[in-house]
């Protein structure tokens, strides 16, 4: 089970994207106003990235071994985890006194990292071709 060159490139790109997203998350948590403005403007593209990645995970033609067991359930863990993380951010936003949008944007950032991590796991486990 050697990963193809395309899968290796995708994994490297995902790791770089995860590092960049975590950098944005940390700077946003620290209160950097420039990062907060950028993440507020980038909310829709981040949500689109989650949907595109989930679509890639679900539309791939994996090996028959991965349709059951851990490989098959990771796809559903990705979608349920992403929805749950974003839902927790929305609930935190609704319950906060000052209505800070960072609760939602940080939840979307974490959901994006989560979905990308699941994609990396599926690619490296050989469940995607």
Q: Is the pLDDT of residue 91 over 80?
A: yes
pLDDT value at residue 44: 75
CB 113 within 8 A of CB 53: no
Q: Is the pLDDT of residue 89 over 60?
A: yes
Long-range contacts of 48-53 (CB under 8 A, 24+ apart): 49/112, 50/82, 50/108, 50/111, 50/112, 50/115, 53/112, 53/115, 53/116, 53/119
User: Could you tell me the two tokens for 18?
Assistant: 């995860």
Q: Between the CA of residue 104 and those of 17, 29, 46, what are the distances in Å?
A: 19, 12, 11
Q: What is the mean pLDDT of residues 64-92?
A: 78
| Whether this model's pTM surpasses 0.85 | no
The pLDDT tens digits of the residues spanning 2-45 come to: 567 888 888 898 899 899 889 989 998 898 888 888 887 877 78
Q: How many CB atoms lie within 10 A of CB 106?
A: 20
Q: What is the mean pLDDT of residues 74-91?
A: 89
Residue 68's pLDDT band, with cuts at 50, 70 and 90, is low
């Amino acid at each position: 089970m050697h990963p193809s060159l395309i899968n290796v490139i995708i994994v490297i790109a995902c790791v770089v994207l995860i590092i960049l997203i975590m950098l944005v998350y940390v700077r946003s948590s620290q209160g950097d106003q420039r990062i907060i403005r950028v993440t507020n403007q980038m909310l829709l593209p981040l949500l689109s990235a989650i949907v595109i990645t989930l679509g890639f995970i679900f539309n791939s033609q994996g090996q028959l071994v991965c349709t059951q067991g851990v490989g098959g359930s990771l796809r559903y863990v990705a979608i349920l985890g992403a929805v749950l993380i974003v839902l927790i951010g929305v609930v935190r936003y609704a319950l906060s006194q000052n209505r800070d949008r960072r609760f939602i944007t940080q939840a979307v950032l974490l959901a994006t990292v989560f979905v990308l991590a699941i994609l990396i796991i599926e690619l490296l486990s050989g469940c995607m071709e």
